[in-house]
Amino acid sequence: MNRQRWTAPLAALATALVLSLGSRVAFAAEANSIPSNPIASNQATGADDTAAAAPIPETYPEVINETSSAGVPMTAQPIPGPSIVSQAAVVMDLNTGTVVYAKDPLVEHYPASLTKMMTALLALQDGHLTDKVTVSQDAASQPPDKLYFVPGEEKTLEQMLYGLLLISANDAAVAIAEHYGGSVAGFAQMMNAEAKTLGANHTHFDNPNGLPDPNHVTTAYDLALIARAAMQYPEFRKIVDTKSYAWHGEAWQSQLTNINQMLYSYPGCIGIKTGFTSVAHETLAVAARRGHDTFLAVLLDAPTNYAIDHDATTLLNFAFDHYHTQTVVHRGQVVGHVRSATGADLPLFATTDVVATVENGHPIQPSERLQLRPLTTAEELALHVHAADLRVSVPGQAGVIVPVDTHVPMATPALALPTTLWWRRWPLWSGMAAAALVAGYVLRRRQVRRRRLRYGVSWDDALIRRDTP
Protein backbone atom coordinates (compact mmCIF):
# COMPACT_ATOMS: atom_id res chain seq x y z
CA MET A 1 0.00 0.00 0.00
CA ASN A 2 2.79 2.42 0.90
CA ARG A 3 4.52 1.64 -2.37
CA GLN A 4 1.35 2.45 -4.31
CA ARG A 5 0.90 5.58 -2.25
CA TRP A 6 4.20 7.05 -3.40
CA THR A 7 4.38 5.66 -6.95
CA ALA A 8 2.38 8.41 -8.65
CA PRO A 9 4.07 11.36 -6.91
CA LEU A 10 7.52 9.96 -7.61
CA ALA A 11 6.61 9.31 -11.25
CA ALA A 12 5.34 12.87 -11.59
CA LEU A 13 8.50 14.22 -10.01
CA ALA A 14 10.71 12.12 -12.30
CA THR A 15 8.75 13.21 -15.36
CA ALA A 16 9.08 16.86 -14.48
CA LEU A 17 12.81 16.49 -13.87
CA VAL A 18 13.24 14.76 -17.22
CA LEU A 19 11.35 17.57 -18.92
CA SER A 20 13.53 20.05 -17.10
CA LEU A 21 16.72 18.37 -18.22
CA GLY A 22 15.31 18.03 -21.71
CA SER A 23 14.79 21.77 -21.76
CA ARG A 24 18.36 22.19 -20.58
CA VAL A 25 19.62 19.94 -23.37
CA ALA A 26 17.66 21.91 -25.95
CA PHE A 27 18.94 25.16 -24.47
CA ALA A 28 22.52 23.92 -24.59
CA ALA A 29 22.11 22.66 -28.14
CA GLU A 30 20.74 26.00 -29.32
CA ALA A 31 22.99 28.36 -27.38
CA ASN A 32 26.19 26.33 -27.38
CA SER A 33 26.26 24.71 -30.82
CA ILE A 34 29.45 25.39 -32.75
CA PRO A 35 28.94 25.99 -36.48
CA SER A 36 31.82 24.73 -38.60
CA ASN A 37 32.83 24.68 -42.19
CA PRO A 38 29.66 23.76 -44.14
CA ILE A 39 31.38 21.26 -46.33
CA ALA A 40 33.07 19.48 -43.47
CA SER A 41 29.89 19.60 -41.41
CA ASN A 42 27.87 18.01 -44.20
CA GLN A 43 30.42 15.20 -44.41
CA ALA A 44 30.37 14.53 -40.70
CA THR A 45 26.59 14.36 -40.31
CA GLY A 46 25.62 12.85 -43.63
CA ALA A 47 22.37 14.75 -43.31
CA ASP A 48 20.38 15.68 -46.36
CA ASP A 49 20.52 19.31 -47.35
CA THR A 50 17.29 21.28 -47.13
CA ALA A 51 15.88 24.08 -49.19
CA ALA A 52 16.38 26.53 -46.32
CA ALA A 53 19.64 28.43 -46.51
CA ALA A 54 22.23 27.79 -43.84
CA PRO A 55 24.23 30.76 -42.60
CA ILE A 56 27.13 31.45 -44.93
CA PRO A 57 30.41 32.10 -43.13
CA GLU A 58 31.78 35.62 -43.45
CA THR A 59 35.22 34.07 -43.69
CA TYR A 60 36.62 30.61 -44.28
CA PRO A 61 38.58 28.77 -41.57
CA GLU A 62 42.16 29.84 -40.94
CA VAL A 63 44.56 27.73 -43.01
CA ILE A 64 48.17 26.74 -42.45
CA ASN A 65 50.64 24.47 -44.24
CA GLU A 66 50.40 26.18 -47.60
CA THR A 67 52.66 28.35 -49.72
CA SER A 68 51.79 30.92 -52.37
CA SER A 69 52.82 30.36 -55.97
CA ALA A 70 51.93 33.38 -58.14
CA GLY A 71 48.97 33.98 -55.85
CA VAL A 72 47.77 30.37 -55.82
CA PRO A 73 47.82 28.78 -52.34
CA MET A 74 49.64 25.51 -52.92
CA THR A 75 50.20 22.73 -50.43
CA ALA A 76 53.46 22.91 -48.50
CA GLN A 77 53.84 19.17 -49.05
CA PRO A 78 53.89 18.96 -52.87
CA ILE A 79 53.82 15.63 -54.63
CA PRO A 80 54.38 15.30 -58.41
CA GLY A 81 50.99 14.91 -60.07
CA PRO A 82 49.78 12.88 -63.04
CA SER A 83 49.84 13.95 -66.68
CA ILE A 84 46.52 14.98 -68.20
CA VAL A 85 45.17 15.98 -71.61
CA SER A 86 43.22 19.03 -70.42
CA GLN A 87 45.07 22.28 -71.04
CA ALA A 88 44.55 23.70 -67.55
CA ALA A 89 43.45 22.25 -64.23
CA VAL A 90 43.52 22.62 -60.46
CA VAL A 91 42.53 20.31 -57.65
CA MET A 92 41.50 22.09 -54.44
CA ASP A 93 40.73 20.84 -50.95
CA LEU A 94 37.27 22.34 -50.46
CA ASN A 95 37.72 22.38 -46.68
CA THR A 96 40.85 24.54 -46.80
CA GLY A 97 41.05 26.12 -50.25
CA THR A 98 44.56 24.70 -50.63
CA VAL A 99 45.51 23.55 -54.12
CA VAL A 100 47.17 20.11 -54.29
CA TYR A 101 47.54 19.97 -58.09
CA ALA A 102 47.91 22.72 -60.67
CA LYS A 103 48.48 22.83 -64.40
CA ASP A 104 48.58 26.38 -65.79
CA PRO A 105 46.12 27.51 -63.10
CA LEU A 106 46.23 31.20 -64.11
CA VAL A 107 46.22 30.86 -67.90
CA GLU A 108 43.05 32.37 -69.38
CA HIS A 109 40.55 30.11 -71.10
CA TYR A 110 36.91 30.22 -72.11
CA PRO A 111 34.77 28.71 -69.34
CA ALA A 112 31.68 27.81 -71.41
CA SER A 113 28.82 26.84 -69.08
CA LEU A 114 30.97 26.78 -65.95
CA THR A 115 29.95 30.45 -66.03
CA LYS A 116 26.58 29.33 -64.68
CA MET A 117 28.15 28.55 -61.28
CA MET A 118 28.57 32.30 -60.81
CA THR A 119 25.05 32.95 -62.12
CA ALA A 120 23.61 30.57 -59.54
CA LEU A 121 25.83 31.96 -56.78
CA LEU A 122 24.59 35.52 -57.32
CA ALA A 123 20.97 34.38 -57.54
CA LEU A 124 21.27 32.57 -54.20
CA GLN A 125 22.98 35.56 -52.63
CA ASP A 126 20.39 38.09 -53.79
CA GLY A 127 17.19 36.05 -54.05
CA HIS A 128 15.01 33.40 -52.48
CA LEU A 129 14.01 30.06 -53.92
CA THR A 130 10.38 31.18 -54.00
CA ASP A 131 11.08 34.31 -56.08
CA LYS A 132 9.01 34.46 -59.28
CA VAL A 133 11.20 34.94 -62.37
CA THR A 134 9.53 36.03 -65.60
CA VAL A 135 11.00 35.02 -68.96
CA SER A 136 11.56 37.79 -71.50
CA GLN A 137 11.58 37.50 -75.27
CA ASP A 138 15.38 37.68 -75.26
CA ALA A 139 15.66 34.93 -72.67
CA ALA A 140 13.23 32.67 -74.53
CA SER A 141 15.20 33.11 -77.78
CA GLN A 142 18.51 31.79 -76.37
CA PRO A 143 20.03 28.79 -78.20
CA PRO A 144 19.97 25.26 -76.74
CA ASP A 145 20.53 23.82 -74.25
CA LYS A 146 17.30 25.35 -72.98
CA LEU A 147 13.96 24.84 -71.28
CA TYR A 148 11.92 26.15 -74.25
CA PHE A 149 10.18 28.89 -72.35
CA VAL A 150 7.28 30.89 -73.75
CA PRO A 151 7.86 34.67 -73.43
CA GLY A 152 6.09 35.82 -70.28
CA GLU A 153 6.28 32.38 -68.67
CA GLU A 154 6.94 32.52 -64.94
CA LYS A 155 8.84 30.06 -62.77
CA THR A 156 10.30 30.13 -59.28
CA LEU A 157 14.01 30.70 -58.82
CA GLU A 158 14.30 27.14 -57.52
CA GLN A 159 12.85 25.74 -60.75
CA MET A 160 15.11 28.00 -62.79
CA LEU A 161 18.19 26.81 -60.90
CA TYR A 162 17.38 23.16 -61.53
CA GLY A 163 17.18 23.85 -65.24
CA LEU A 164 20.29 26.01 -65.14
CA LEU A 165 22.50 23.52 -63.29
CA LEU A 166 21.16 20.14 -64.44
CA ILE A 167 20.85 20.65 -68.19
CA SER A 168 22.72 23.98 -68.50
CA ALA A 169 19.70 25.91 -69.75
CA ASN A 170 20.81 29.13 -71.45
CA ASP A 171 17.34 30.66 -71.37
CA ALA A 172 17.14 30.20 -67.59
CA ALA A 173 20.52 31.94 -67.22
CA VAL A 174 19.33 35.04 -69.08
CA ALA A 175 16.01 35.11 -67.22
CA ILE A 176 17.84 35.00 -63.89
CA ALA A 177 20.28 37.70 -65.02
CA GLU A 178 17.51 40.04 -66.10
CA HIS A 179 15.56 39.47 -62.90
CA TYR A 180 18.41 40.19 -60.48
CA GLY A 181 20.61 42.46 -62.58
CA GLY A 182 17.99 44.40 -64.51
CA SER A 183 19.70 43.35 -67.76
CA VAL A 184 22.36 40.97 -68.98
CA ALA A 185 24.91 43.80 -68.94
CA GLY A 186 23.93 44.81 -65.43
CA PHE A 187 24.20 41.24 -64.20
CA ALA A 188 27.62 40.86 -65.86
CA GLN A 189 28.81 43.81 -63.80
CA MET A 190 27.59 42.02 -60.67
CA MET A 191 29.40 38.87 -61.76
CA ASN A 192 32.69 40.69 -62.24
CA ALA A 193 32.37 42.49 -58.92
CA GLU A 194 31.74 39.20 -57.13
CA ALA A 195 34.69 37.59 -58.93
CA LYS A 196 36.98 40.31 -57.56
CA THR A 197 35.53 39.84 -54.08
CA LEU A 198 36.34 36.14 -54.24
CA GLY A 199 39.88 36.79 -55.46
CA ALA A 200 39.18 35.61 -59.01
CA ASN A 201 41.34 38.37 -60.43
CA HIS A 202 41.88 36.86 -63.88
CA THR A 203 38.19 36.61 -64.72
CA HIS A 204 35.94 38.75 -66.90
CA PHE A 205 32.34 37.81 -67.60
CA ASP A 206 30.19 39.31 -70.36
CA ASN A 207 27.12 37.08 -70.07
CA PRO A 208 25.43 34.73 -67.56
CA ASN A 209 25.55 31.52 -69.63
CA GLY A 210 29.07 31.26 -71.07
CA LEU A 211 28.17 31.45 -74.76
CA PRO A 212 31.20 32.40 -76.90
CA ASP A 213 32.53 35.91 -76.41
CA PRO A 214 36.21 36.87 -76.88
CA ASN A 215 36.13 38.93 -73.68
CA HIS A 216 34.48 36.23 -71.60
CA VAL A 217 37.48 34.50 -69.99
CA THR A 218 38.64 33.02 -66.71
CA THR A 219 41.18 30.58 -65.28
CA ALA A 220 41.08 27.17 -63.65
CA TYR A 221 42.00 28.62 -60.25
CA ASP A 222 39.45 31.43 -60.49
CA LEU A 223 36.71 28.95 -61.31
CA ALA A 224 37.75 26.85 -58.31
CA LEU A 225 37.27 29.91 -56.09
CA ILE A 226 33.82 30.51 -57.57
CA ALA A 227 32.84 26.85 -57.25
CA ARG A 228 33.99 26.74 -53.63
CA ALA A 229 31.92 29.82 -52.80
CA ALA A 230 28.83 28.36 -54.48
CA MET A 231 29.25 25.06 -52.64
CA GLN A 232 28.82 26.88 -49.32
CA TYR A 233 25.10 27.10 -50.14
CA PRO A 234 23.05 24.00 -49.21
CA GLU A 235 20.61 24.77 -52.06
CA PHE A 236 23.41 24.76 -54.60
CA ARG A 237 24.90 21.53 -53.25
CA LYS A 238 21.50 19.86 -53.31
CA ILE A 239 20.77 20.86 -56.90
CA VAL A 240 24.13 19.91 -58.42
CA ASP A 241 23.94 16.55 -56.66
CA THR A 242 20.48 15.85 -58.11
CA LYS A 243 20.33 13.33 -60.96
CA SER A 244 16.84 14.06 -62.28
CA TYR A 245 14.10 16.63 -61.88
CA ALA A 246 10.55 16.75 -63.23
CA TRP A 247 10.04 19.80 -65.44
CA HIS A 248 6.58 21.15 -66.24
CA GLY A 249 6.74 24.14 -68.56
CA GLU A 250 4.01 25.74 -70.61
CA ALA A 251 5.43 24.50 -73.90
CA TRP A 252 7.76 21.73 -72.79
CA GLN A 253 7.51 19.00 -70.16
CA SER A 254 10.34 16.59 -69.46
CA GLN A 255 12.34 14.72 -66.87
CA LEU A 256 15.55 16.73 -66.64
CA THR A 257 18.61 14.49 -66.32
CA ASN A 258 21.84 15.87 -64.91
CA ILE A 259 24.38 15.90 -67.76
CA ASN A 260 27.36 15.63 -65.40
CA GLN A 261 28.44 12.07 -66.13
CA MET A 262 30.80 12.01 -63.15
CA LEU A 263 27.73 11.80 -60.89
CA TYR A 264 27.12 8.33 -62.27
CA SER A 265 30.67 7.11 -62.77
CA TYR A 266 32.79 8.43 -59.88
CA PRO A 267 32.15 7.10 -56.35
CA GLY A 268 31.41 9.89 -53.92
CA CYS A 269 30.81 12.53 -56.59
CA ILE A 270 28.62 15.42 -55.32
CA GLY A 271 28.40 17.60 -58.46
CA ILE A 272 28.98 20.19 -59.85
CA LYS A 273 28.94 21.54 -63.49
CA THR A 274 29.90 20.75 -67.07
CA GLY A 275 30.48 23.02 -70.06
CA PHE A 276 31.11 22.97 -73.79
CA THR A 277 31.30 25.38 -76.70
CA SER A 278 33.11 25.13 -80.00
CA VAL A 279 35.79 27.57 -78.78
CA ALA A 280 36.06 26.52 -75.13
CA HIS A 281 35.91 22.79 -75.92
CA GLU A 282 35.10 20.59 -72.91
CA THR A 283 35.18 22.17 -69.45
CA LEU A 284 34.33 20.61 -66.11
CA ALA A 285 34.12 21.34 -62.40
CA VAL A 286 33.55 18.26 -60.24
CA ALA A 287 33.66 17.60 -56.50
CA ALA A 288 33.79 14.34 -54.60
CA ARG A 289 33.70 13.35 -50.95
CA ARG A 290 35.28 10.48 -49.05
CA GLY A 291 34.80 10.47 -45.31
CA HIS A 292 35.60 13.96 -44.05
CA ASP A 293 37.60 14.97 -47.12
CA THR A 294 36.19 16.81 -50.14
CA PHE A 295 38.19 17.71 -53.22
CA LEU A 296 37.23 19.85 -56.18
CA ALA A 297 38.74 19.48 -59.66
CA VAL A 298 38.39 22.16 -62.34
CA LEU A 299 39.53 21.30 -65.86
CA LEU A 300 39.52 23.47 -68.98
CA ASP A 301 39.95 22.92 -72.71
CA ALA A 302 39.84 19.17 -73.20
CA PRO A 303 39.17 17.69 -76.66
CA THR A 304 36.37 15.28 -75.74
CA ASN A 305 33.95 14.50 -72.96
CA TYR A 306 35.65 11.16 -72.39
CA ALA A 307 39.05 12.83 -72.10
CA ILE A 308 37.94 15.39 -69.51
CA ASP A 309 36.08 12.83 -67.40
CA HIS A 310 39.16 10.58 -67.51
CA ASP A 311 41.38 13.47 -66.47
CA ALA A 312 39.01 14.40 -63.64
CA THR A 313 38.95 10.81 -62.38
CA THR A 314 42.74 10.68 -62.44
CA LEU A 315 43.09 13.97 -60.56
CA LEU A 316 40.51 13.18 -57.88
CA ASN A 317 42.11 9.78 -57.29
CA PHE A 318 45.47 11.51 -56.95
CA ALA A 319 44.09 13.93 -54.37
CA PHE A 320 42.39 11.29 -52.23
CA ASP A 321 45.37 8.94 -52.47
CA HIS A 322 47.84 11.53 -51.21
CA TYR A 323 46.08 14.21 -49.12
CA HIS A 324 43.49 14.82 -46.43
CA THR A 325 42.25 17.67 -44.23
CA GLN A 326 43.70 17.95 -40.75
CA THR A 327 41.90 20.12 -38.20
CA VAL A 328 44.57 21.65 -35.98
CA VAL A 329 42.32 23.82 -33.79
CA HIS A 330 38.55 23.43 -33.44
CA ARG A 331 36.29 26.40 -32.97
CA GLY A 332 35.23 26.38 -29.33
CA GLN A 333 38.32 24.46 -28.23
CA VAL A 334 39.84 25.57 -24.92
CA VAL A 335 43.30 26.88 -25.74
CA GLY A 336 44.23 28.47 -22.42
CA HIS A 337 42.98 30.36 -19.38
CA VAL A 338 42.96 33.97 -18.24
CA ARG A 339 42.37 35.49 -14.81
CA SER A 340 39.63 38.10 -14.70
CA ALA A 341 39.65 41.31 -12.72
CA THR A 342 37.66 39.53 -10.00
CA GLY A 343 40.21 36.75 -9.74
CA ALA A 344 38.18 34.10 -11.58
CA ASP A 345 40.07 31.64 -13.78
CA LEU A 346 38.31 31.78 -17.15
CA PRO A 347 38.78 29.35 -20.06
CA LEU A 348 39.70 30.82 -23.44
CA PHE A 349 37.98 29.41 -26.54
CA ALA A 350 39.21 29.55 -30.12
CA THR A 351 36.78 31.55 -32.26
CA THR A 352 37.46 29.73 -35.53
CA ASP A 353 38.85 26.49 -36.92
CA VAL A 354 42.45 26.16 -38.01
CA VAL A 355 42.81 23.57 -40.76
CA ALA A 356 45.49 22.24 -43.06
CA THR A 357 45.75 20.04 -46.11
CA VAL A 358 48.39 17.45 -45.29
CA GLU A 359 49.98 14.47 -46.93
CA ASN A 360 48.46 11.14 -45.97
CA GLY A 361 50.53 9.53 -43.24
CA HIS A 362 52.40 12.76 -42.50
CA PRO A 363 50.32 14.89 -40.13
CA ILE A 364 51.81 18.23 -39.18
CA GLN A 365 52.76 19.24 -35.64
CA PRO A 366 52.19 22.98 -35.49
CA SER A 367 53.29 25.18 -32.63
CA GLU A 368 50.78 27.26 -30.68
CA ARG A 369 51.54 30.40 -28.67
CA LEU A 370 48.96 32.31 -26.66
CA GLN A 371 49.35 36.07 -26.38
CA LEU A 372 47.11 37.38 -23.58
CA ARG A 373 45.44 40.76 -23.32
CA PRO A 374 44.23 41.89 -19.88
CA LEU A 375 40.55 41.99 -19.00
CA THR A 376 39.43 44.90 -16.83
CA THR A 377 35.68 44.87 -16.17
CA ALA A 378 32.78 42.46 -15.91
CA GLU A 379 31.12 44.41 -18.74
CA GLU A 380 33.97 43.44 -21.06
CA LEU A 381 33.41 39.78 -20.26
CA ALA A 382 29.68 40.10 -20.95
CA LEU A 383 30.43 41.68 -24.35
CA HIS A 384 32.50 38.69 -25.54
CA VAL A 385 35.77 40.59 -25.46
CA HIS A 386 38.68 38.95 -27.23
CA ALA A 387 40.95 38.19 -24.33
CA ALA A 388 43.93 36.91 -26.28
CA ASP A 389 45.32 35.84 -29.64
CA LEU A 390 46.50 32.35 -30.49
CA ARG A 391 49.33 32.13 -33.01
CA VAL A 392 49.41 28.79 -34.83
CA SER A 393 52.30 28.09 -37.17
CA VAL A 394 54.34 25.44 -38.89
CA PRO A 395 58.15 25.77 -38.85
CA GLY A 396 59.31 27.91 -41.75
CA GLN A 397 55.87 29.49 -42.33
CA ALA A 398 54.28 32.70 -41.11
CA GLY A 399 51.33 30.97 -39.47
CA VAL A 400 47.93 32.42 -38.57
CA ILE A 401 46.50 34.39 -35.65
CA VAL A 402 43.23 33.17 -34.12
CA PRO A 403 41.32 35.47 -31.74
CA VAL A 404 40.27 33.68 -28.57
CA ASP A 405 37.39 34.64 -26.35
CA THR A 406 36.02 33.88 -22.91
CA HIS A 407 32.45 33.47 -24.17
CA VAL A 408 32.56 31.38 -27.33
CA PRO A 409 29.65 28.88 -27.09
CA MET A 410 30.71 25.38 -26.19
CA ALA A 411 28.88 22.08 -26.72
CA THR A 412 28.69 21.37 -22.99
CA PRO A 413 27.45 18.12 -21.42
CA ALA A 414 23.69 18.03 -20.94
CA LEU A 415 23.90 18.33 -17.15
CA ALA A 416 26.50 21.10 -17.07
CA LEU A 417 25.32 24.53 -16.00
CA PRO A 418 26.44 27.57 -17.98
CA THR A 419 29.00 29.70 -16.19
CA THR A 420 27.05 32.90 -16.86
CA LEU A 421 24.27 34.87 -15.18
CA TRP A 422 21.61 33.05 -13.14
CA TRP A 423 18.79 33.91 -15.52
CA ARG A 424 20.37 31.80 -18.24
CA ARG A 425 19.63 28.75 -16.06
CA TRP A 426 15.89 29.26 -16.40
CA PRO A 427 15.17 25.88 -18.06
CA LEU A 428 16.47 24.04 -14.98
CA TRP A 429 14.81 26.31 -12.41
CA SER A 430 11.47 26.19 -14.24
CA GLY A 431 11.66 22.42 -14.45
CA MET A 432 12.35 22.08 -10.75
CA ALA A 433 9.45 24.40 -9.93
CA ALA A 434 7.15 22.39 -12.17
CA ALA A 435 8.28 19.19 -10.45
CA ALA A 436 7.44 20.62 -7.04
CA LEU A 437 4.01 21.82 -8.16
CA VAL A 438 3.11 18.50 -9.78
CA ALA A 439 4.29 16.50 -6.78
CA GLY A 440 2.36 18.75 -4.37
CA TYR A 441 -0.80 18.53 -6.43
CA VAL A 442 -0.68 14.73 -6.63
CA LEU A 443 0.00 14.38 -2.90
CA ARG A 444 -2.91 16.71 -2.08
CA ARG A 445 -5.28 14.75 -4.31
CA ARG A 446 -4.34 11.52 -2.57
CA GLN A 447 -4.84 13.10 0.83
CA VAL A 448 -8.33 14.31 -0.10
CA ARG A 449 -9.19 10.93 -1.63
CA ARG A 450 -8.25 9.12 1.61
CA ARG A 451 -10.47 11.47 3.65
CA ARG A 452 -13.30 11.06 1.20
CA LEU A 453 -13.12 7.27 1.50
CA ARG A 454 -12.80 7.50 5.27
CA TYR A 455 -15.78 9.79 5.86
CA GLY A 456 -17.95 8.85 2.87
CA VAL A 457 -18.48 12.44 1.78
CA SER A 458 -18.43 14.29 -1.50
CA TRP A 459 -15.30 15.64 -3.04
CA ASP A 460 -16.17 19.23 -2.08
CA ASP A 461 -16.91 18.23 1.50
CA ALA A 462 -13.60 16.38 1.67
CA LEU A 463 -11.84 19.57 0.63
CA ILE A 464 -13.72 21.56 3.28
CA ARG A 465 -12.84 19.02 5.96
CA ARG A 466 -9.10 19.16 5.15
CA ASP A 467 -8.35 20.08 8.77
CA THR A 468 -10.55 17.39 10.27
CA PRO A 469 -8.49 14.83 12.24
How does pLDDT run along the chain (469 residues), one tens digit per residue?
Answer: 444 555 555 555 555 454 444 433 333 333 333 333 433 333 333 334 333 333 344 468 999 999 999 999 999 999 999 999 999 999 999 999 999 999 999 999 999 999 999 999 999 999 999 999 999 999 999 999 999 999 999 999 999 999 999 999 999 999 999 999 999 999 999 999 999 999 999 999 999 999 999 999 999 999 999 999 999 999 999 999 999 999 999 999 999 999 999 999 999 999 999 999 999 999 999 999 999 999 999 999 999 999 999 999 999 999 999 999 999 999 889 988 877 667 778 888 888 899 999 999 999 999 988 887 666 666 655 655 556 788 898 888 888 988 887 765 443 333 222 333 333 344 545 566 666 676 666 666 666 566 555 555 444 444 444 444 4
| Residue 406 maps to a domain | no
Residue 177, Cα to own-chain centre: how many angstroms? 25
**Backbone φ and ψ of 323, nearest 5°:** -135, 160
pLDDT of residue 74: 96
**Backbone φ and ψ of 68, nearest 5°:** -95, 130
Q: Give the CATH number for residue 132.
A: 3.40.710.10
Q: Is 367 a catalytic residue?
A: no
Query: Choosing from 36, 113, 155, 273, which is the catalytic residue?
Result: 113
Report yes or no: 193 and 219 within 8 Å, Cβ to Cβ.
no
pLDDT of residue 446: 66
> Residue 189 belongs to what domain range?
62-324
pLDDT of residue 379: 60
Query: Choosing from 20, 155, 168, 273, which is the catalytic residue?
Result: 168
223 and 119 share a domain? Answer: yes
219 and 145 share a domain? Answer: yes
Q: Check the CA dihedral 337-338-339-340 and report its sign.
A: negative
Q: Is 183 a catalytic residue?
A: no
Domain stop point among 306, 324, 342: 324
Report yes or no: 207 and 216 within 8 Å, Cβ to Cβ.
yes
pLDDT of residue 278: 96
- For the chain, what is the domain count? 2
Domain stop point among 271, 300, 324: 324
198 and 263 share a domain? Answer: yes
98 and 236 share a domain? Answer: yes
Output DSSP code: residue 60.
P
Per the document, the length of the chain is: 469
Closest CA to 225 of 66, 124, 106: 106
Q: Which amino acid is at 76?
A: A
pLDDT of residue 424: 36
**Backbone φ and ψ of 310, nearest 5°:** -65, -45
| Residue 460 maps to a domain | yes
| Residue 146 maps to a domain | yes
| Residue 300 maps to a domain | yes
How many helices, marked H, and strands, marked E, lie in the chain? 14, 19
pLDDT of residue 55: 39
Query: Choosing from 116, 146, 155, 273, which is the catalytic residue?
Result: 116
| Residue 352 maps to a domain | no
Q: Is 116 a catalytic residue?
A: yes
| Residue 234 maps to a domain | yes
109 and 20 share a domain? Answer: no
437 and 310 share a domain? Answer: no
